[in-house]
Amino acid sequence: MVNGTIKGIVFDDEYTLMEPYPASDLMAEIRVRVIPLLVDNAPPGGLLPLAERVLRHITAELEADTSQISNQSNDLASSIKTVFDKEKIWVPEGLLEESLGLSDGKLAEYLYERKSLSQEARRTLRDLRRKGFFLGLVANSQFKRDWLKTIPLYNPDDDLFDTVILSCDVGFRKPDPRIFHAVYNSLKLNSHEVAYVTNDLESVPLDIAEKIILTSEFRKPNHQPEAIPVIENISDLVGLM
């Protein structure tokens, strides 16, 4: 049973609980979407060398920072634009996002439908619920809930979370404190009764919860506050709480 002041645990989006999407799989999708954008920028007979160079550069960018894979609506497009700028490739504004399937959610749909929580994460969440903790999930989302409900993590028939709050539900995006308080209100808890689990300290105000817990999978900061514990595996939460 729950002891002390912490009664609920809120997770900072699904990527806190999932493994990074393999860059090799993502690149297979990017390849067919990016190469047509290079046609007008390639010298005669030079499309193949240009495409190979650009794709190699994009792969290096993604492998260097897996967090870019996790936020496909913003960081991924930004990363590819950086490569295009370095290669002096020009495309009309908005065309890259459209070609990647970011504007209509097609690439996100491809990524999401192939991802679910690991069995270890599911066991951990169920163990925490058995210990009496209320569990919440908060995520920035450019997609509507009715589309996301087809994804196992957001399916209302799944009982892993007591509440899931998306930015499209409330009109606020992290790190706006109001989206966090929307989760707390849904759980009927106050901020001092909540532990917040995140993979990115920049996405959450440090005073938004009684305890901040950092997972090590993605963006471990160079100057991490000593008071913030880091867990290597999601299962470590059970012992920590």
Task: Indicate whether 67 belongs to any domain.
Answer: yes
User: For residue 188, what pLDDT band results from cuts at 50, 70 and 90?
Assistant: very high
Compute the distance between CA of residue 20 and CA of residue 29 in angstroms, rounded to an integer. Answer: 16
Instruction: Please write the tens of the pLDDT for every residue from 77-93.
Output: 777 888 888 888 888 88
- Structural domain boundaries enclosing 142: 8-18+116-240
Last residue of a domain, one of 113, 141, 174: 113
Same domain, 67 and 161: no
Q: What DSSP letter does each residue of 150-209 carry, written as one string? A: TSGGG-TT--S-SEEEEHHHHS--TT-HHHHHHHHHHHT--GGGEEEEEEEGGGS-TTSS
Predicted confidence at residue 214, as pLDDT, reads 82
Q: Give the range among 48-57, 62-71, 92-101, 182-191 with minimum mean pLDDT.
A: 62-71
Which among 102, 99, 107, 104 has a CA at the least distance from the CA of 73? 102
Which among 14, 8, 11 has a CA at the least distance from the CA of 191? 8
Predicted confidence at residue 135, as pLDDT, reads 94
- 123 contact partners, CB below 8 Å, separation of at least 6: 235
Compute the distance between CA of residue 44 and CA of residue 180 in angstroms, rounded to an integer. Answer: 54
Same domain, 121 and 104: no
Same domain, 105 and 137: no
Instruction: Please write the tens of the pLDDT for every residue from 15-33.
Output: 667 665 666 777 777 888 8
Which among 165, 53, 36 has a CA at the least distance from the CA of 101? 36
Last residue of a domain, one of 94, 113, 132: 113
> In which residue are the tokens 């957001």 written?
154
Tokens of 122: 């599911």
User: For residue 73, what pLDDT band results from cuts at 50, 70 and 90?
Assistant: very low
Same domain, 180 and 195: yes
Tokens of 27: 């690149």
- pTM: predicted TM-score of the whole model, two decimal places: 0.66
Query: Is pLDDT above 50 for 218?
Result: no
User: Average pLDDT over the chain, rounded to whole?
Assistant: 77
> In which residue are the tokens 């990115």 written?
200
The count of residues in the chain is 241
Tokens of 237: 């939460």
Predicted confidence at residue 72, as pLDDT, reads 46
Same domain, 90 and 177: no
Helix (H, G, I), strand (E, B) or coil at 99: helix
Answer yes or no: are the C-beta atoms of 37 and 99 closer than 8 Å: yes
Helix (H, G, I), strand (E, B) or coil at 34: helix
Task: Indicate whether 2 belongs to any domain.
Answer: no
Compute the distance between CA of residue 187 and CA of residue 3 in angstroms, rounded to an integer. Answer: 17
Answer yes or no: are the C-beta atoms of 198 and 212 closer than 8 Å: yes
Tokens of 63: 């492998």
Query: Is pLDDT above 60 for 70?
Result: no
Instruction: Please write the tens of the pLDDT for every residue from 110-168.
Output: 665 555 677 788 889 999 999 999 999 888 876 556 555 555 566 656 678 898 888 88
